[in-house]
């Protein structure tokens, strides 16, 4: 997330330009069923730290809900506004996470590696007994939720990473990440007109291709919701509220593309997906934290969000959100987001 996983612009040999480049996750240990990295899957041992504003963390939120891992891995939600001491737990009593006992996420990073020079990013998984960060590998966390944590999935949990579809999913996910998930950031943080226009073109070229792909199929890969859909959704749901204006991705809004708008509404109205979205946190983070882009820190009053609950009509394309599985139960009371689709 901004100020965390994004790096300072790095050099480009062509014309000396310095395009935005996203940092790789520094802590890439995995929590696995066999514990081969030293971190075995254990119910209640780990705490998932997220910002509801962050699209990368939102993937983990949706995956955890859909798979029914709420009792297996607890949740910490940070304030959508950061300061120079990193993500902070000011939403909790006494400004401390009640389980980890820390005020700032950097404290878990420091326990893992003293003097770590990089950014403090979410999502992050922390080992509760030691207080150490385990991983901030946002690309891998949800894949492991879908596979390594399977013994703790709820009954009826969907297969978010079907083995038979992984090759196709990898190709789709790579394009979505490069041109859409990361593309909007490349546009928003561009420091030259050239780099901005390259990113802008990538974003809308890929969105046009995705719109064409989804015109006659309900989901990106296969006939039910998968990891690929979650990764696209977290950008689409932020697009009109943030990326269209704040990041200058303004050729058109998602609401102006009939296919993508219906697809986004379909996912938003799916239990376990839309009920993890907090538009208030999203807007306040981007517009108040990115002072280099929005120095006044004024948070726009719009757009109108009521359309997210309008009928989408995508059922006619066949398929079902959970395949042979079932919807998750309502979120735990302390995780219900005011104004969400299942609130």
Report CA 335 to chain centroid distance, whole Å: 17
CB 228 within 8 A of CB 173: yes
Q: Does the annotation flag 261 for ligand binding? A: no
Q: Which residues contact 266 (CB under 8 A, 6 or more apart)?
A: 218, 312, 314
Which residue of the set 46, 109, 161, 185 is catalytic?
Answer: 185
Q: How many C-beta atoms surround the C-beta of residue 49 within 10 A? A: 28
Start-end of H helices in 241-278: 258-268
Active site residue 287: no
List 46, 54, 249, 268, catalytic entry: 54
Q: DSSP code of 247?
A: T
3-state secondary structure of 28: strand
Q: What is the Rg, in whole angstroms, of the alpha carbon atoms belonging to the chain? A: 19
Answer whether 285's CB lies under 8 Å from 299's CB. no
Between the two ends of the chain, the Cα-to-Cα distance in Å is 26
Ranges of beta strands (E only) in the chain are: 46-50, 74-77, 124-127, 133-135
Catalytic, 185? Answer yes
Indicate the DSSP class of residue 20: -
**Residues placed in the known binding site for glutathione:** 87
Active site residues: 54, 185
**Residues placed in the known binding site:** 87
């Amino acid at each position: 997330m901004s100020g965390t996983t994004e790096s300072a612009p790095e050099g480009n040999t062509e014309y000396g330009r310095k395009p935005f480049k996203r940092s790789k996750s520094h802590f890439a240990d995995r929590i696995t069923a066999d514990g081969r990295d030293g971190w075995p899957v254990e119910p209640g041992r780990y705490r998932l730290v997220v910002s509801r504003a962050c699209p990368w963390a939102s993937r983990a939120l949706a995956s955890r809900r859909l798979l029914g891992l709420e009792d297996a891995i607890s949740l910490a939600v940070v304030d959508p506004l950061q300061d120079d001491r990193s993500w902070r737990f000011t939403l909790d009593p006494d400004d401390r996470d009640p389980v980890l006992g820390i005020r700032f996420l950097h404290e878990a990073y420091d326990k893992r590696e003293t003097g770590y020079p990089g950014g403090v990013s979410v999502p992050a998984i922390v080992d509760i007994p030691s207080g150490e960060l385990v991983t901030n590998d946002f690309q891998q966390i949800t894949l492991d939720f879908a596979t390594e944590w399977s013994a703790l999935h709820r009954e009826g949990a969907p297969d978010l990473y079907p083995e038979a579809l992984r090759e196709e999913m990898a190709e789709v996910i790579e394009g979505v990440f490069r041109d859409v998930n990361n593309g909007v950031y490349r546009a928003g943080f561009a420091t030259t007109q050239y780099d901005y226009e390259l990113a802008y073109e990538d974003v809308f070229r890929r969105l046009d291709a995705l719109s064409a792909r989804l015109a006659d199929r309900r989901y990106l890969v296969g006939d039910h919701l998968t990891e690929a859909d979650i990764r696209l959704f977290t950008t689409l749901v932020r697009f009109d509220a943030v990326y269209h204006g704040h990041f200058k991705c303004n050729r058109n809004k998602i609401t102006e593309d009939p296919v993508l708008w219906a697809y986004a509404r379909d996912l938003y109205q799916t239990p376990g997906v839309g009920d993890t979205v907090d538009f208030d946190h999203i807007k306040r983070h981007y517009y108040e934290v990115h002072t280099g882009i929005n120095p006044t820190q004024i948070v726009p009053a719009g757009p109108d969000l009521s359309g997210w609950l309008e009928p989408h009509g995508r059922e006619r394309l066949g398929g079902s959100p959970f395949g042979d599985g079932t919807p998750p139960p309502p979120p735990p009371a302390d995780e219900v987001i005011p104004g969400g689709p299942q609130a």
